[in-house]
């Protein structure tokens, strides 16, 4: 223990005290040779004499008695799991200082710090100051429409595998990409310094970016237009369907959302009339997250658009087209993992949530 390389330093020092004592040396001499205080030498020498090797270990330390009970901590967590409006507090969401203040006001505890509240909430990973938004399903044909889209991603249509000359295109519009010319030049990053973008800017107009993404080939076709609408969307369709292999393909499935440019049966008939081998497939209402082109748009937002610093709309268009070429040169298909089985699980959870909510509403307050 005194000379082991893996022994803790404090245990090594205590073992050396014992070995010096075994050689018949006095406490004063041991203190000089080990660099310890005389009282420290006397303490560990006495403990070893009483308890042997076990006496060289630290005794259990109980520390200060807890200031709060487990019940008080549970009451604070329960309060954090309720909306402030339900408790009569004019807040949209809780923060740790506000929770501490409310706990004192409710006489749950005489005094409580925000750091203590934060520590209690961290035990159960509670973060009432955060929120996530969601949209409830309103489309009565949600499962049918979503299943068709997911089947196409898996190269299946109406229970049959797609042929090699059948393709799946995901298309949409990214509206209002602004040309914001910063009043001062953007500064490049440096050592221990992030890139700096001036807050004030001059407006240079806005442009719409339309893109069609080949789901299985990871190829993007894009164009910029002054605004969205039927004509710009059909121009995008013509841009894709006029080149091979789509022009001579057996079928080309166009997955789109329910935007005004391609909504409903009229849009599907218009597409088929212009290109007989094109089939329009709509995602469910409020389910654009099922459209893979949205993933590409998120890439464009992070890598091209933000931070927005363009002199004019021409520079915006040139940057987007250059990025398309760069993306198409190295892109791989997205690893889409949401399947029809996941869809069934999602719908089952929503049904359970709806049923439980309806039962709570029908039960009403107890009398």
In a domain, 352, yes or no: no
CATH of the domain at 285: 3.30.420.10
Do 27 and 145 share a structural domain?
A: no
Do 77 and 15 share a structural domain?
A: no
The pLDDT-based confidence of 32 (bands split at 50, 70, 90) is very high
What's the token pair of residue 366?
A: 């107890």
pLDDT at 195 > cutoff 50: yes
In a domain, 136, yes or no: no
Q: State mean pLDDT over 274-295.
A: 94
pLDDT at 1 > cutoff 90: no
Do 312 and 168 share a structural domain?
A: yes
Do 164 and 40 share a structural domain?
A: no
**Alpha-carbon distances of 185 from 180, 199, 310, rounded to whole Å:** 12, 11, 11
In a domain, 89, yes or no: yes
Q: State mean pLDDT over 170-196.
A: 91
Q: What is the pLDDT of residue 352?
A: 86
The pLDDT-based confidence of 280 (bands split at 50, 70, 90) is very high
Do 155 and 112 share a structural domain?
A: no
In a domain, 111, yes or no: yes
In a domain, 64, yes or no: no
Do 275 and 150 share a structural domain?
A: yes
Provide the number of structural domains found in the chain. Answer: 3
pLDDT at 237 > cutoff 60: yes
Contact predicate 237/274, CB 8 Å: yes
Do 304 and 179 share a structural domain?
A: yes
pLDDT at 365 > cutoff 70: no
Q: What angle do CA 237, 220, 148 make, to 5 degrees?
A: 70
Q: What is the pLDDT of residue 169?
A: 97
The pLDDT-based confidence of 65 (bands split at 50, 70, 90) is confident
Residue 26, domain extent = 9-56
Do 232 and 87 share a structural domain?
A: no
In a domain, 175, yes or no: yes
Q: What is the pLDDT of residue 367?
A: 42
In a domain, 357, yes or no: no
Beta strand 219-225 with 201-214 is antiparallel
Do 238 and 98 share a structural domain?
A: no
Question: With helix as H, strand as E and coil as C, how does 83-107 read?
Answer: CHHHHCCCCCCCCHHHHHHHHHHCC
The pLDDT-based confidence of 354 (bands split at 50, 70, 90) is confident
Do 336 and 222 share a structural domain?
A: yes
In a domain, 147, yes or no: yes
Q: State mean pLDDT over 305-320.
A: 92
pLDDT at 125 > cutoff 60: yes
Q: State mean pLDDT over 350-356.
A: 81
pLDDT at 231 > cutoff 80: yes
Do 257 and 116 share a structural domain?
A: no
Do 276 and 156 share a structural domain?
A: yes
């Amino acid at each position: 223990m005194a000379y082991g390389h893996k022994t803790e330093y404090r245990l090594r020092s205590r073992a050396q005290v014992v070995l010096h004592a075994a050689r018949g040396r006095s406490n004063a001499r041991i203190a000089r040779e080990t660099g310890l205080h005389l009282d420290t030498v006397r303490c560990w020498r006495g403990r070893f004499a009483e308890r042997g090797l076990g006496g060289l270990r630290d005794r259990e330390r109980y520390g200060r008695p807890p200031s709060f009970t487990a019940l008080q901590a549970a009451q604070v967590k329960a309060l954090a799991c309720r909306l402030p409006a339900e408790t009569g507090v004019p807040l949209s969401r809780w923060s740790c200082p506000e929770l501490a203040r409310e706990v004192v006001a409710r006489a749950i505890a005489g005094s409580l710090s925000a750091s203590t509240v934060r520590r209690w909430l961290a035990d159960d990973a509670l973060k009432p100051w955060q929120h996530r938004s969601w949209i409830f399903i309103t489309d009565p044909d949600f499962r049918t429409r979503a299943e068709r889209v997911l089947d196409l991603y898996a190269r299946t249509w109406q229970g049959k595998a797609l042929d090699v000359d059948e393709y799946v295109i995901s298309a949409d519009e990214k509206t209002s990409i602004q040309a914001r010319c910063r009043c001062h030049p953007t500064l490049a990053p440096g050592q221990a310094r992030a890139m700096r973008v001036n807050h004030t800017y001059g407006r240079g107009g806005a442009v719409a970016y339309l893109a069609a993404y080949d789901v299985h080939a990871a190829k993007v076709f894009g164009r910029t237009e002054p605004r969205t609408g039927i004509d710009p969307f059909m121009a995008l369709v013509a841009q894709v369907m006029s080149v091979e292999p789509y022009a001579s393909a057996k079928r080309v499935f166009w997955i789109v959302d329910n935007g005004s440019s391609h909504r409903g049966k009229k849009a599907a008939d218009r597409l088929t009339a212009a290109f007989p081998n094109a089939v329009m497939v709509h995602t469910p209402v409020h389910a654009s997250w099922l459209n893979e082109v949205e993933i590409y748009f998120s890439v464009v937002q992070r890598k091209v658009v933000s931070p927005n610093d363009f002199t004019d709309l021409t520079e915006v268009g040139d940057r987007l087209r250059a990025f398309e070429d760069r993306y198409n040169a190295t892109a791989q298909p997205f690893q889409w993992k949401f399947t029809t089985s996941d869809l069934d699980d999602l719908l089952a959870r929503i049904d359970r949530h709806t049923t439980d909510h309806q039962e709570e509403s029908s039960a009403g307050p107890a009398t």
